[in-house]
Amino acid sequence: LTYSEKKGKWECDVGKVIAGTNVASNVLIAAKIDRLGNDVQDILKFASSLGFVFHLEHLRVVVVSEHEHLTGKKRLPGMKAPMPQKVLDAQYREVLIKLLDKAQKYGIISDGRRQGTFSFSHDKVFEAVYASLPTGLERKQLHVRIGTLLLEAFPKDEFVTFLAVDHLNQGAESVISLPERLKLAKLNLSVAKLSIKEYS
């Protein structure tokens, strides 16, 4: 806990606090997240579904496509009312940045190493948010949908292909049809070949 003369207020590095305690960590995390409001909390849920580190554009694609399914709300987080798809594509990125900025101010996430990426401030913070997602089969199906969305939105991005296949593999048990399982097997083979090519 330190006092910032520039900001004129006390500041707490939640990551350091959590790292130094086990007993109170869940309480501290819950208190931090509860203060963020429903819209930011919803965004963090989507972010956690992507992983400890996530990209802004990947998050935008997933939120726009999955928000109603996951939250039960027609209105996107940060928006006052439902909007046409064309408007969302043009404007929602800025809305998303504002919501993420609030989470950053509360020490829940921070800028990632790569441009356009963010990461959760601590693994316990990530775990707490990820735990709020649906569990069991529903979570596996969510990962399959995320993997599919990423492949469709970024078909020529090799990094995204790796990421998407990882999501598909996390939900592999929910993939029942033979054609879809064969498709997943081919994707894994393709990723394996890319890995060999990259490191050879």
Q: Each residue of 81-114: pLDDT tens digit?
A: 766 666 566 678 888 999 999 999 999 999 999 9
3-state secondary structure of 86: helix
Helix axes 25-34, 123-130, angle to 10 degrees: 60
* pLDDT, position 23: 46
Q: Which of 112, 130, 148 is the last residue before a domain boundary?
A: 130
Nearest to 121 by CA among 39, 63, 52: 52
Instruction: Specify whether the CB–CB gap between 147 and 167 falls below 8 A.
Output: yes
Judge if 83 and 115 occupy the same domain. yes
Please give the model's pTM, rounded to 2 decimal places: 0.80
Q: What stretches of 106-177 show up as alpha helix (H) in DSSP? A: 123-130, 136-153, 158-170
What's the structural domain count of the chain? 2
Q: Which of 82, 103, 130 is the last residue before a domain boundary?
A: 130
* pLDDT, position 42: 93
* pLDDT, position 200: 63
Place of tokens 């404007």: 91
Range of the domain at 172: 136-199
Judge if 109 and 162 occupy the same domain. no
Helix axes 123-130, 38-50, angle to 10 degrees: 100
Q: Which of 130, 155, 184 is the last residue before a domain boundary?
A: 130
CB-side neighbour CA atoms (13 Å) of 64: 22
Judge if 143 and 175 occupy the same domain. yes
* pLDDT, position 20: 55
Please list the pLDDT of the chain residue by residue as tens digits (200 residues). 566 667 666 666 655 655 555 545 666 777 888 888 899 999 999 999 999 999 999 999 999 888 888 888 888 888 887 666 665 666 788 889 999 999 999 999 999 999 999 999 999 999 999 999 999 999 999 999 999 999 999 998 989 999 999 999 999 999 889 999 999 999 999 999 888 877 76
The token pair at 71 is: 């939250």
What is the rounded distance in angstroms from the CA atom of residue 44 to the CA atom of residue 108? 9
What is the rounded distance in angstroms from the CA atom of residue 11 to the CA atom of residue 183? 50
Judge if 42 and 115 occupy the same domain. yes
* pLDDT, position 142: 95
Judge if 94 and 22 occupy the same domain. yes
